A and B are shown apart, each in its own frame.
Chain A
Amino acid sequence: MGNNKSKVWRGLTATGAMLLAASVTASTIVTAHRTDIDKMIGTQSTQIVNETNASPEELYTYSSDYSSTTELVQAMQDIGTRMSQEGSVLLKNNNAALPLSAEELGKVSLLGFQSYFPNKGAILGPTAAENHGTEADTVDLVGALEARGFTLNATLKDMYNSDALKSIFKSEVATWTGTAEYLNLTAPSVGGVYKDKEPSVAELDSANAGWRDSLNASNVMIITIGRAGSENADYTPGEAGVDPADGLNQTDPLGLSDDERNLIAAAVEAKAANGGKVIILLNNGNPMEIQEIADNDGVDAILQVGTPGSYGFYGVADILSGAANPSGHLTDTYAVKNSLSPAAQNYGDLQWTNANPAISMNDAIVEAESIYTGYRYYETRYADFVLDQGAADSEVGSTGGAWMYQNEVTYPFGYGLSYTTFDQKINDVKVDLAAKTATATVTVTNTGNVAGKDAVQLYVSAPYTQYDIEHGVEKSAIQLLDFGKTQILEPGQSETVTITADLQYLASWDSTADNAAGTKGNYILDAGDYYFTVGNGAHEAVNNVLAAQGRTVDNGMTAAGDAGNVQVWNLAALDNQTFATSKSGVNVENQLADMDINYWMPGTAVYLTRSDWANTFPKTYRDLTATDEMVAIMDNDVYQYQTDGGEVTWNADNGLTLADLKGVSDFDDPRWDQLIDQMDLSEALIRTAFGGTSTKTIPSISSPEAIQNDGPTGYANYPLGQYANKNKDSGDPCVIDANDPNAGFMGNTMANNIVVAQTFNKDLALEWGKTVGNYSLWSNCAILWGISANLHRLPYCARNLEYYSEDPVLSSFMGAEVCKGELQYGVIASVKHFCFNDTEMNRTGVAPFMTEQKAREGDIRAQQSIIEDAKCLGVMTAYNRVGCYTDNAHTGLIKNILHGEFGFRGLISEDFIMDPVYASLKEAVMNGITMSCNTGDNNLAAVAAYYPNLNWNVETVGKDSELQKALKYAMKKQNYALANSNAMDGLVPGAHLETVKTWYDKLIMGLEIAFGLITLLCAVMYFRSKKA
């Protein structure tokens, strides 16, 4: 009996010991992931304690434009609606099919499953919130049309909502727990293929044999087709990107399938009988191949709506009804066959022959197209075709036979229709080289019968000279220099729009040019004539330029240009002085020479030049073998610790807290260095190693934690009420009630950035930024990784919808306006990804190679104004490499261009890189990056555990004075961003931080005590039973 008892007590002791060990270990886990736990469950582990009784005005620098969350969320709905009113693009409108008459609103048939289950956003990245039960609920197409008074064909609505059809268009996406099901279309996973989901006509017949008959009474047939976009997804060019099992004559994932063709054909056939209309809505981020729809006379109208976010379908409905007049213009070229573009020749999984997953060495992408992406390719080759130069008419890259523009492009960049007509006249252009500006005045007149807005697109054609040919400088025949938008013009009304363009964006990078630094590499303006013009898109603009150069349709032009709408400015001699020094006062020079594959492997790549389209059109660079020298860099260990033993000040007693520098925007104020001198080296080591989902606190300077949020479409990580201040005695102007009806509201409601950019309306972008800023104040979240501005290198990156455009100026200027709006409300407005994140394929490790001209005039320029002019406070770097180096380790890009040339001052985070080696922490800090994206406990032991081979500790780093200085500089920049943001709201000088025991801390402590006592008790009873 005694033996049995002892076994029981032994078992209970073991159980108690296990639970005690579990609770003790759990406390370690909780401490290591405290920030994330706090975020998930809405607790706070530190609190700010102000020593003085400060007034609300002293405590709170920023205030909202709204007095309640009701006003806030309704403002978000309002701007979301207006963004799609102005950002949807009318591509075709035969016989003024749109807008619909009042009678037609009563007989609408929605066809295609995407009419009922559209993509409002992406699955990952630029998502669209599903807000329900709030004061601004999410709406889809059906809901928006019904809310605006449309009457929909109930037969179709029931049919598409039937289980029979849902089982056909349902998508399954693999997740770590199994599969998730979506009724909307999903983008292929990286390396996957596109699978058609549109039900066939036969399947519709099977679902409801009467569906065709139902079209007679509802003969306004709106068909939605589209392609989904997402982060961590990619389309593969050509037939290789389509599921071979489909067998639907689909030659490209962005091209049409037979199921889509047949649905459109069925509607066109029905129209012949019922006298109705066929209207196509494009619910896409990636430009689709729609030449056959454009050519189809049975299709009356095409409206590109993008992925319009949580409220954009209201705007779409307003366009259809005529309540709004479309004024959007394409941000990307719609090519006949996307896979024929020069960039598409080098895209996808192009592995090194000596790829090594252990060091994230996977793909090499030679971007051999040089600067010729998007319209810069199509319009330049067209111009050369007309000018009969560079063998532009060769067959290479053509859909068949000699290359001709009209066979290659369906809708050009910048194109868009209105319900009215406009006349634009460029009156004059004043170039002021000293001020580095070109000021154009353009008179816009509404020559039609409907009120509306018009976008003014200021283009320029720079001379392509013999010097350029000899020095490897490429020139687009036409480029967007700047843009503006009119107010609503009544019929007959005119407005003169003045655009003061920054000539920086006209300059070309010449890697061979002398510079003020005494080295090589400079921005130049060539000698010759510069043609300034306007147009409804890049093609009309280049036609104007060609006309001014004396060309006509007899030279192969697709249409006569308007030579009278061109202003010419002549530069007598090549200028390599004006842009030799950046706005921050730094002399520019080559920084990215090692991004050229030929730098490492001479003679490997031929970059496309307009001087010889035929012989330089890119081939596919596959099976490249990296040299030992390249592999040594891709080993991700390029900075070696120094042991100079130089003195660096830490732990100074200067009596400052970060609150003493609240709102101090002078980065050179000596108090910044004094403040950082107070830090301990270990704090700087920990804070750079662990950033993760927030900046974390720094006790020595009372630096508060600032919550990070992702959100290209607005704050996406936490509901409005998660961190909102609910203390009505705090004096905070943005306090919410504990029962606020919008506490669960998610802020990621805006349309994708393509729609934002398609408005060509800087004021609207600014307004969106301000709305986000207001949301930041109410939600108490300071950091937003929201300005996604990578360039659309080609149409196949499924993440393109997160970014603005194929044009860097449009990207950068729209992003800059959003940034300015956010900054007004203290958001740490942040741009991403700096730079070259132009594919999702193997993005951790992919090595893009390109010329420095392409790098500077492409992806870097797409973010330049956001950093340089709008002065964003945050930058996120990229997963990808820059040539052989990890992005974070590339000194030329991060230290010399971002910090040096662009004068960036603020917080820089790595992207969500979880590999402690690929994170390149010491190299990143040397380049000025302020934190990684990893998380861990607030001690160096945790750092050592996470970075096991890095020696990121006081002993090692303490001997390297340059690295310590870099650490201090990083901390200075990060805290500079915080001090100039609304993260400081609630703090006044003298404020300090106190640790708070959360309920879960108390719970774990209670469990530890309880299990400890239980174990002890069981052990005692065990010994007693043994004795018995």
Chain B
Amino acid sequence: MKRALFGSIMTVITIVAAVVGLINYITNSNTTYFAGLGKDPVVIGCAAVAIAALALWLVLGNPKAAWTDILPVAAPALLIVTALTLVNSRINGVAAIMTFENNAQNMADLQSAIVAIAALVAAAVLAALNAFFDVKKEA
């Protein structure tokens, strides 16, 4: 019972981290510096599917329903793809802001990207750990 509760809490934390990452990404996509890059459907799509998978896992995850085990397996993979795709799209900007375009506004714009990446990486790692725990006690 305790382990299942722990698993549920972990999953909630993971979902929160993923949502924080996604919201920060969307925020970052609307900043002056990064707005021109638009919103990457891979980032949004993978994050959304991962969050949905984790939510389903939280609701439906059941030792008796083996098919649900695909959810905690897929989520970390999707989240790491999200995080690294975001890194890929921000590398040039980070390089510029670190050097030629270093000013307060650009640094502030960069902040949400860093938060998003950090949250998504954390969510991916947490999601992988989630897979070691059930979210419901075996009946």
CA distance A126 to B57 in the complex (A): 56
Asked if A14 and B88 make an inter-chain contact with CB atoms under 8 angstroms apart, the answer reads no
Q: Is B13 an interface residue (CB 8 A)?
A: no
Q: Is A630 an interface residue (CB 8 A)?
A: no
Q: Is A917 an interface residue (CB 8 A)?
A: yes
Which secondary structure dominates chain B's binding surface?
helix
- 0/1 string, A927-962, CB within 8 A of B gives 1: 000000011000000000110110000000000000
Binds B, one of A27-35, A315-323, A883-891: A27-35
Asked if B76 and A15 make an inter-chain contact with CB atoms under 8 angstroms apart, the answer reads yes
Supposing A8-B132, A32-B88 touch, asked if A18 and B124 sit within 8 A by C-beta, the answer is yes
CA distance A26 to B87 in the complex (A): 10
B107 nearest CB across to chain A (Å): 6
Supposing A11-B132, A912-B101, A914-B101 touch, asked if A18 and B76 sit within 8 A by C-beta, the answer is yes
Supposing A176-B107, A232-B101, A232-B103 touch, asked if A21 and B37 sit within 8 A by C-beta, the answer is no
CA distance A20 to B84 in the complex (A): 12
Q: Report which residue of B73, B89, B129 has the largest number of chain A beta carbons within 10 angstroms of its beta carbon.
A: B73
Size of the chain B interface, CB-CB below 8 angstroms: 51
Q: Report which residue of A14, A189, A917 has the largest number of chain B beta carbons within 10 angstroms of its beta carbon.
A: A14
Contacts of B75 in A (CB 8 A): 14
- Taking CB atoms and an 8 Å cut-off, the chain B residues in 85-139 that contact chain A are 85, 87-89, 91-94, 96-104, 107, 110, 124-125, 127-134, 138
Q: Is B74 an interface residue (CB 8 A)?
A: yes
A1008 nearest CB across to chain B (Å): 13
CA distance A8 to B85 in the complex (A): 29
Asked if A915 and B33 make an inter-chain contact with CB atoms under 8 angstroms apart, the answer reads yes
Contacts of A124 in B (CB 8 A): 99-100
- 0/1 string, A1016-1027, CB within 8 A of B gives 1: 000000100010
Q: Is A345 an interface residue (CB 8 A)?
A: no
Asked if A25 and B85 make an inter-chain contact with CB atoms under 8 angstroms apart, the answer reads yes
Asked if A949 and B38 make an inter-chain contact with CB atoms under 8 angstroms apart, the answer reads yes
Asked if B85 and A18 make an inter-chain contact with CB atoms under 8 angstroms apart, the answer reads no
Asked if B32 and A357 make an inter-chain contact with CB atoms under 8 angstroms apart, the answer reads yes
Of the candidates A7, A33, A945, which one forms a contact with B134 in the assembled complex, judged by CB atoms under 8 Å apart? A7
Of the candidates A22, A190, A945, which one forms a contact with B89 in the assembled complex, judged by CB atoms under 8 Å apart? A945
Contacts of A935 in B (CB 8 A): 92
CA distance A6 to B72 in the complex (A): 13
B126 nearest CB across to chain A (Å): 11
CA distance A934 to B99 in the complex (A): 15
Supposing A914-B92, A935-B92 touch, asked if A15 and B84 sit within 8 A by C-beta, the answer is no
CA distance A916 to B92 in the complex (A): 11
CA distance A540 to B61 in the complex (A): 90
Name the residue of chain B whose CB is nearest to the CB of A913: B96
Asked if B84 and A22 make an inter-chain contact with CB atoms under 8 angstroms apart, the answer reads yes
Asked if A176 and B100 make an inter-chain contact with CB atoms under 8 angstroms apart, the answer reads no
CA distance A255 to B81 in the complex (A): 54
A916 nearest CB across to chain B (Å): 5
Q: Is A968 an interface residue (CB 8 A)?
A: no
A7 nearest CB across to chain B (Å): 6
Asked if B133 and A948 make an inter-chain contact with CB atoms under 8 angstroms apart, the answer reads no
Name the residue of chain B whose CB is nearest to the CB of A946: B37
Of the candidates A8, A176, A934, which one forms a contact with B94 in the assembled complex, judged by CB atoms under 8 Å apart? A176
- 0/1 string, B1-36, CB within 8 A of A gives 1: 000000000000000000000000000000011011
Asked if B72 and A176 make an inter-chain contact with CB atoms under 8 angstroms apart, the answer reads no
Q: Report which residue of B78, B104, B110, B132 has the largest number of chain A beta carbons within 10 angstroms of its beta carbon.
A: B132
Count contacts between A and B, CB distance < 8 Å.
125
Of the candidates B35, B38, B78, B129, which one forms a contact with A11 in the assembled complex, judged by CB atoms under 8 Å apart? B129
Q: Is A3 an interface residue (CB 8 A)?
A: yes
Name the residue of chain A whose CB is nearest to the CB of B31: A357
CA distance A7 to B73 in the complex (A): 11
Supposing A357-B32, A358-B32 touch, asked if A191 and B103 sit within 8 A by C-beta, the answer is yes
Q: Is A844 an interface residue (CB 8 A)?
A: yes
Name the residue of chain B whose CB is nearest to the CB of A912: B100
Asked if B128 and A15 make an inter-chain contact with CB atoms under 8 angstroms apart, the answer reads yes
Name the residue of chain B whose CB is nearest to the CB of A32: B88
A292 nearest CB across to chain B (Å): 34
Supposing A11-B132, A176-B94 touch, asked if A17 and B73 sit within 8 A by C-beta, the answer is yes
Asked if A25 and B81 make an inter-chain contact with CB atoms under 8 angstroms apart, the answer reads yes
Contacts of A26 in B (CB 8 A): 84
CA distance A8 to B96 in the complex (A): 44
Name the residue of chain A whose CB is nearest to the CB of B71: A14
Contacts of B127 in A (CB 8 A): 14, 18
Contacts of A8 in B (CB 8 A): 132
Of the candidates B63, B74, B93, B101, which one forms a contact with A844 in the assembled complex, judged by CB atoms under 8 Å apart? B101
Contacts of A945 in B (CB 8 A): 40, 89
- Taking CB atoms and an 8 Å cut-off, the chain A residues in 894-922 that contact chain B are 911-912, 914-918
B65 nearest CB across to chain A (Å): 12
Q: Is A722 an interface residue (CB 8 A)?
A: no
Of the candidates B36, B77, B130, B133, which one forms a contact with A21 in the assembled complex, judged by CB atoms under 8 Å apart? B77
Asked if A7 and B132 make an inter-chain contact with CB atoms under 8 angstroms apart, the answer reads yes
CA distance A916 to B35 in the complex (A): 9
B22 nearest CB across to chain A (Å): 17
Contacts of B37 in A (CB 8 A): 916, 946, 948
Of the candidates B33, B73, B80, B87, which one forms a contact with A13 in the assembled complex, judged by CB atoms under 8 Å apart? B73
A1018 nearest CB across to chain B (Å): 9
Asked if A14 and B128 make an inter-chain contact with CB atoms under 8 angstroms apart, the answer reads yes
Contacts of B88 in A (CB 8 A): 25, 28-29, 32-33
Asked if B134 and A175 make an inter-chain contact with CB atoms under 8 angstroms apart, the answer reads no
Name the residue of chain A whose CB is nearest to the CB of B46: A21
B72 nearest CB across to chain A (Å): 6
Contacts of B66 in A (CB 8 A): 1026
Q: Report which residue of B38, B80, B110 has the largest number of chain A beta carbons within 10 angstroms of its beta carbon.
A: B80
Contacts of B89 in A (CB 8 A): 945
Q: Is A231 an interface residue (CB 8 A)?
A: yes
Q: Is A10 an interface residue (CB 8 A)?
A: yes
Asked if A21 and B132 make an inter-chain contact with CB atoms under 8 angstroms apart, the answer reads no
Q: Is A174 an interface residue (CB 8 A)?
A: yes
Of the candidates B40, B69, B81, B87, which one forms a contact with A10 in the assembled complex, judged by CB atoms under 8 Å apart? B69
CA distance A29 to B74 in the complex (A): 21
- 0/1 string, A115-156, CB within 8 A of B gives 1: 000000000100000000000000000000000000000000
Contacts of B100 in A (CB 8 A): 124, 231-232, 911-912
Asked if A11 and B96 make an inter-chain contact with CB atoms under 8 angstroms apart, the answer reads no
Name the residue of chain A whose CB is nearest to the CB of B111: A176
Contacts of B35 in A (CB 8 A): 358
A1019 nearest CB across to chain B (Å): 8
Asked if A174 and B132 make an inter-chain contact with CB atoms under 8 angstroms apart, the answer reads no
CA distance A508 to B102 in the complex (A): 39
Contacts of B79 in A (CB 8 A): 18
CA distance A672 to B79 in the complex (A): 49
Contacts of A912 in B (CB 8 A): 96, 99-101
Contacts of B124 in A (CB 8 A): 18
A56 nearest CB across to chain B (Å): 38
CA distance A393 to B91 in the complex (A): 56
Supposing A7-B132, A918-B36, A949-B38 touch, asked if A21 and B73 sit within 8 A by C-beta, the answer is no
Contacts of A13 in B (CB 8 A): 73, 131
CA distance A28 to B130 in the complex (A): 27
Asked if B76 and A17 make an inter-chain contact with CB atoms under 8 angstroms apart, the answer reads yes
| 8 chain-A/chain-B pairs, Cβ below 8 angstroms | A7-B134, A10-B73, A11-B129, A11-B133, A14-B75, A176-B107, A189-B103, A948-B37
**Nearest 7 CB-CB pairings of A with B:** A11-B132, A14-B131, A948-B38, A18-B76, A357-B32, A21-B77, A25-B84
Other contacts beyond A29-B84, A357-B32, A914-B33: 20, CB < 8 A: A7-B131, A7-B132, A7-B133, A7-B134, A14-B131, A17-B73, A18-B127, A20-B77, A25-B85, A28-B85, A32-B88, A189-B102, A190-B103, A191-B104, A231-B100, A232-B101, A912-B96, A914-B96, A945-B40, A946-B37
The residues of A with any CB-CB pair to B shorter than 8 Å are 3, 6-8, 10-11, 13-15, 17-18, 20-22, 25-26, 28-29, 32-33, 124, 174-176, 189-191, 231-232, 357-358, 692, 844, 911-912, 914-918, 934-935, 945-946, 948-949, 1022, 1026
